[in-house]
Amino acid sequence: MSEVTRIVDQLNHAFEGNAWHGPSVKEILSDVTAGKAAARPVHGAHSVWEVALHIAAWESAVLRRLSGDAARLSDEEDWPPVKNTSIDAWQETLEALERGHRHLAEKVSTLTDSDLNKTATGQSYSVYFMLHGVIQHDLYHAGQIAILKK
Ligand code: NI
């Protein structure tokens, strides 16, 4: 198995399931309603909805960096505000998150192992480090959602 295939595998475990540590991003969000996603149970902390948008923002930034764009996110792109808290809008957030993940996984699977040693576009670190970083980022925020949704 190539290193790229192993990374795609880990990325999919973190996002979709059968992760080593416990629930993936998709699993942890599966029973969250729009109302619960929009709630702010911890004063001053992000809502589940905001965290979901933030996970999507970084999966998308990594995809852009793999496509030659440095993808420097503004504060608003980093933590996009939730403007519409309807059930349909939550469904759209979940679908966009999944779509973005699929695009990223597809893009990563087109890389070669030697691409992993290249410097990520506009960064001081390698593509390898960035890809492990986005997996870690998914799981860090999945854990955060696990607490917020209680
Ligand atoms: Ni983050």
Residues 64-81 pLDDT 10s: 999 999 999 999 999 999
Strand, coil or helix: 70? coil
- Do 34 and 90 form a contact (C-beta atoms < 8 A)? yes
What is the whole-number distance in angstroms between the Cα of residue 113 and the centre of ligand 1? Answer: 26
What is the whole-number distance in angstroms between the Cα of residue 120 and the centre of ligand 1? Answer: 18
What is the whole-number distance in angstroms between the Cα of residue 27 and the centre of ligand 1? Answer: 18
Give the C-alpha separation, 10 to 37, whole Å: 26
What tens digit of pLDDT does each residue of 14-48 get?
A: 999 988 888 999 999 999 999 999 999 899 999 99
pLDDT, residue 19, reads: 81
What lies within 8 Å, CB to CB, of 144 at 6+ separation is 46, 51
What is the whole-number distance in angstroms between the Cα of residue 141 and the centre of ligand 1? Answer: 7
pLDDT, residue 21, reads: 84
| Number of Cβ atoms within 10 Å of the Cβ of 79 | 15
